[in-house]
Amino acid sequence: MVIITAGMIGVGKTTLTKLISEHLGTEPFYEPVADNPVLPLYYSNPKQYGFLLQIYFLNRRFSMIKAALADDNNVLDRSIYEDALFTEQNHLDGNISDQEMNVYNELLNNMMSELKGLKKKAPDLMIYADTDFETILYRIKKRARPYEQFDNNPSLRDYYHKMWAAYKQWYEEYDKSPKIKIDLQHWNLEDPENQKVVLSMIDDKLADLRGKSFRMRIA
């Protein structure tokens, strides 16, 4: 099966992806952050680099989802299905112009049309990782990426809050595949016992999906 994880930066998505891939024996596809040359530039000057960053991410995420759907046995740390969420927020914040937004949407639509031509057209499950906003801020500080820090940058903190709120709406509207929400504040993955609980929740959801698929085939 193809599983995608989704959620805010700092929520624990990458840890969750690694945990699932090891549990299920599948290949993980991680979000292109460490080797992203544009991301630090964006944080230093979002108005100059907003469009470039979104095109960079869109291209990488398109390649990832194509490879994942073709292989059909993996877990993706963030995917093309939530890419527009960031672009729309950059547009609202004035970091991306109307013309750039139109170019982005046309490119995204072309990519999504191409995915429809694949044998497997969508993921089997989307797992949304959620926490409260203060936990997001704590975890961003804890992982200590210099360009993500917001103590002396109130506009960056405000951006994080807007994305946190936007993600909640995105989850409610997401309809590309079955989905499940997991509270990674309550089930903090630093605790091995919590890891077992979360994996059990995912196993139960996958078993339910497999049962539904089987029932549909014999109906």
Range of the domain at 146: 2-218
> Catalytic pick from 35, 71, 72, 77?
77
Q: Is 140 annotated as a binding residue?
A: yes
50 is in an annotated binding site: no
Output the pLDDT for position 212: 64
Find all residues with CB under 8 Å of 105, minimum gap 6, and list them.
84
Q: What is the CATH number of the domain that holds 95?
A: 3.40.50.300
pLDDT, tens digit, 9 for 90 and up, residues 138-196: 999 998 888 889 998 899 999 999 999 999 999 999 999 999 999 999 999 999 999 99
Flag residues of the chain having pLDDT under 70: 33-34, 212-219
Q: Is 141 annotated as a binding residue?
A: yes
Residue 13 is assigned to a ligand binding site: yes
Structural domain count, the chain: 1
Looking at the chain, the whole-number percentage of residues with pLDDT higher than 70 is 95
Catalytic: 191? no
Q: Which residues of 80-118 are buried (b: 16+ CB within 10 A; e: fewer)?
A: bbbbbebbbbbbeeebbeeebbeebeeebeebbeebeee
